[in-house]
A and B are shown apart, each in its own frame.
Chain A
Amino acid sequence: MADRMGMLIDASKCMGCRGCQVACKQWNDLPATKTAFSGSYENPPQIEGNTWTKVKFSEDRQSDGTVSFRFLKVQCMHCTEASCISVCASGAATRMDNGYVIIDQNKCIGCRNCVLACPYQAVAFDPATGTSRKCWSCQNRLENNLQPACVKTCPSGALGFGKREDMLALAKKRAQELKTAGKDAYIYGEKELGGTNIMYVLDAPPKVYGLPENPKPATAGVSTNWMGVLVGAGIMAFAPFKILFSDKSTGVNKTPEAGVNKNA
């Protein structure tokens, strides 16, 4: 088993230059998309089939009326409890030895179940390929002992890459520094969804950055829902059908009781 790798994104150091967005497009040969001005320099408005990472801009209005801008690089979080893997019906979404989650483009047939199931909206359908695509943490760079393209290009030191445990230690150290400087500090991704390979140091609560505070994996309610189906089937087979259609007066009983089976 290879070491589990990880990335640390220090939101307190991000200045929103979007160099990571460009580097990602260049390394992975992803075309640009035409977008319209949406009232913000955040662009494109969401992760797309050919935009695997982007910087999200949040305006955080303070109680004194001033506005602080928050920048957050978003991409696939490479969750331990990965919803995309658990919903994938074609076997395209899998986990690699180094902990990263990839979607095999040869196996994906574009049902878009993972697109809906991802708690971070980090997977998107690409009409050009007919498949669902997302960040694969530049596996072809990692194999050659290079950092992911976004990390390599980051000019402000907001992105770090290495063993996940080292990144977590770095996150804790940085959070301590922020706190010492009298700022808020939060670590995101240490525990969420079983621990994500991508972790954040935030200087405001995750909610302010638009991160889900208590994300649930796709498997969360499946077994209880199936139980509900069986209970519903039992009640329904019995109440409306058994009572209304059972024929107690019948004399010509062509088939004996053999098949009275509610299947519930």
Chain B
Amino acid sequence: MHEADWSIIIAFYLFVAGMGVAAFYTGVLANLFSNDKYPRLAKYGSYIGVPLILLGVLMLVFDLGRPEAFWRFLFHLNPSSTMSVGVWLLTAFSIISVLNALTWLAEDAGESSVLAMFKDKPGLRRATGLTGLAFGILTAGYTGVLLSSTSTVFRSITPLMGMLFLVSATSTGIAVLMLALAWRKEDHHIIQKLAKADAVVIVFEVIIFVLFLINLNTATPEVAAAILSGSYSLLFWVGVIACGLIIPLVVELYSMSSGKGLSSSAAVPAIASVLILIGGFLLRYVLLFAGQSPL
């Protein structure tokens, strides 16, 4: 059997990058549509998104055969290459999100002289938030488009891969935000709102996933079988479907519908979040490896 050319590092990268950009744009979107009622979400999203995306980029660089020559990617643009487009999206998002995080950091750091130039810059924060939102969404989508254009299994079958990865990334981004809020013992009402948003996102994800699998089963039944009933079936049903989608959805719906008593506990959304993160990683793991199986 062919050894996997893209290893588990790439699965981690797809997961970490998707989660990072989604934490960023989730915070921006929530704050945007509430007319600046939730600046904390935007701030947390920025603080979480920046280290994650930088970690993702580092993982990519060190996975190269010649990491020291990574700069060649930055001196070349090939519009037909999803990877090349992705390099530019990642670069743009990294710069924009770092600037955005600095405007928050300057505020939190108090009288720090180093960051003084980023203090009280609502214009910069707004501009980087909005452009970061656009680049973040495209970056989350690119992780799926990359896999669909790279893998000979997935390339021809479906327009849904990019959408699936975008929606899944959004769910993991919301989850990591909820975790941060629960950890910092923030207002429970915000967490509840995020849990509601996440429930809607998960419902979308389930619909897209079903369509994706129908597509896959029509085009390459042997790969669909490997996922649904073969070597990946345990990871898929227990990890991706149960942990990543169904249990968090049930937990979120339950905590929404139940009375005040339970819903004030931060543990419930925190558990749902952890499960979503596990499922989000396994989704990428299963599709990356199933997509490399020789036909």
List A residues at the B interface (Cβ < 8 Å): 46, 86-91, 107-113, 115-119, 121, 125-127, 129-132, 212, 215-216, 218-222, 224-233, 235-237, 239-242, 244-247, 250, 253-255, 259-261, 263-264
Q: A233–B37 contact, CB under 8 A?
A: no
Q: Which of A112, A127, A229, A253 is close to B35, meaning CB atoms less than 8 Å apart?
A: A253
Q: Is B96 an interface residue (CB 8 A)?
A: no
- Once the chains bind, are A125 and B73 in contact (CB under 8 Å)? no
Q: How many residues of B contact A (CB 8 A)?
A: 71
| In-complex Cβ contact of A111 among B2, B29, B64, B198 (8 A) | B64
- Known contacts A112-B5, A116-B292, A220-B155; A90/B72 CB under 8 A: yes
Max chain A C-beta neighbours (<10 A), residue from B130, B148, B152, B197: B152
Please state if A132 and B65 are interface contacts (CB–CB under 8 Å).
yes
Task: Summarize B's interface: helix, strand, loop or mixed.
Answer: helix
- Contact call A110/B65, Cβ cutoff below 8 A: yes
Contacts of A253 in B (CB 8 A): 35
Q: Is A90 a contact partner of B37 (Cβ separation < 8 A)? A: no
Q: Is the CB of B170 within 8 A of A261?
A: no
- Flag whether B92 is at the interface (Cβ < 8 A): no
Q: CB-CB < 8 A to B37: which residues of A? A: 245, 247, 250
CA distance A220 to B6 in the complex (A): 21
- A86 contacts across to B, CB distance below 8 A: 78, 80-81
What's the minimum C-beta distance from B29 to chain A, rounded to whole angstroms? 4
The residue in B29, B31, B86, B155 that gathers the most chain A C-beta atoms within 10 A of its C-beta is B155
Residues of chain A within 8 A (CB-CB) of B155 are 117, 216, 218, 220-221
State which of B76, B126, B162, B193 has its C-beta within 8 Å of the C-beta of A259.
B126
Q: Are A233 and B166 in contact (CB under 8 A)?
A: yes
Residues 135-160 of B at the A interface (beta carbon under 8 Å) = 137-138, 141-142, 144-145, 148-152, 154-160
Q: Besides A117-B150, A228-B163, A236-B167, 11 other CB < 8 A contacts? A: A86-B81, A110-B65, A116-B6, A212-B152, A215-B152, A218-B149, A224-B159, A232-B162, A255-B36, A259-B32, A260-B32
B134 is an interface residue with CB less than 8 A from chain A: yes
Chain B hits for A237, CB < 8 A: 29, 137
Task: Write the nearest CB–CB distance from A196 to chain B, whole angstroms.
Answer: 16
Query: Least Cβ distance of A92 to chain B in Å?
Result: 8
Can you name the residue of chain A whose Cβ is closest to the Cβ of B196? A244
Q: B200 on the interface (CB 8 Å rule)?
A: yes
Write the nearest CB–CB distance from B86 to chain A, whole angstroms.
8
**Other-chain contact of A91, B76, B145, B158, B167 (Cβ < 8 Å):** B76
Residues in A whose Cβ lies below 8 Å from that of B72: 90-91, 107, 109
Q: For residue B150, which residues in chain A have a CB less than 8 angstroms away from its CB?
A: 87, 113, 116-117, 218
Tell me which residues across on chain A come within 8 A of B2, comparing CB atoms. 46, 121
In the bound complex, residues from chain B placing their C-beta under 8 Å from that of A232 are 141, 162-163, 166-167, 204, 208
Residues of B within 8 A of A230 (CB): 141
* Residues in B whose Cβ lies below 8 Å from that of A263: 130, 133-134, 137
Task: Given the known inter-chain contacts A221-B157, A225-B145, A244-B197, please indicate yes or no for A88 contacting B78, CB distance below 8 A.
Answer: yes
Q: Is the CB of B193 within 8 A of A245?
A: yes
Query: Is B5 within 8 A of A115, CB to CB?
Result: yes
Please, how many angstroms separate the alpha-carbon atoms of A260 and B156 in the complex?
A: 36
Q: By the criterion CB–CB under 8 Å, are B33 and A233 in contact?
A: no
Nearest opposing residue in chain A for B137, CB measure: A233
Q: How far is the CA of A232 from the CA of B65 in the complex (A)?
A: 34
Which residue on B lies nearest to A216, using beta carbons? Answer: B156
B282 close to A (CB within 8 Å):
no
